[in-house]
Structure 1
């Protein structure tokens, strides 16, 4: 076996010795080109693998940022919900909401009886633990100061309610403000069934 290899090398050596200088140069260039092509063929899959790896790392990094952002938003909302829940738990909402709103309108908003309208809308559930009772209030006023006091008492008074919509239209001919407010009371319930007899409109 070793003898065959030696004979093969000797034949190649004799063949190369017979070649002219130009032929030897052409063979050397050809070998160099083949080597470059071989390296290129080897480089391509490695490059693609690194490229895939880089894209994967970038995607994971982007996903991680999205997850951190979503987690931050979730924790912030959870904290706000906890504060709101504690606030409504402390409030005494046993009194009828309509009666409470009438007092706020008359005492804080300085709106006389009969010059405002309170409409109770259909109840609905928030998840499985909370019941929402929405109301729509309409009235006219000329005092922005009284309006601000009214809104502050609705949201941050002894019986806090959520203000979900506020629409104020100013009259073109006078200082009268036409106000529409949507408010919602939140009550914790023990079951999904709504108690229709809890409170009459």
Structure 2
């Protein structure tokens, strides 16, 4: 368990870096997420690595809620993130129920960069931000495409994912639906805890 705890601390350190990097860029371009917008949280295709859910899984374990959450995940029939708290019937308004432990993609998404086939940086902005701030989006896109220098390159989601994945190949490389990723790593934490306890109690060699 000590290895997973240390790995979790490393993930949280990367999270702090990513949150600062992406939020600083978004604020500088006035392309922040819309208040109470949950459009991305309500989508079925959110994918993260089990590593991204490790800090939350350990939090659940250490607060005695791990087995309960695992049972809830097994019974959960929803397609969106189970941790998303809806404020509207259609789910487009809401908030993150685990904000401090939210995975890396949630810290990077909204307004971020990606590299074109020709190696140039361009901007990816979610639909709600585009619709709410069309002029800001257009200005940022033009500025990036016109100057395209390292100084104004937007932070890249691919690079952010790489920073996380390189912490642990086994848990960090594979992407899966967010609820499945939590279930996967929570099972790992609980299984490891069980066998660790068996060893401590002298039941297992």
Task: Tell me the TM-score normalized by structure 1.
Answer: 0.23
Larger CA Rg, structure 1 vs 2: 1
Task: Tell me the TM-score normalized by structure 2.
Answer: 0.22
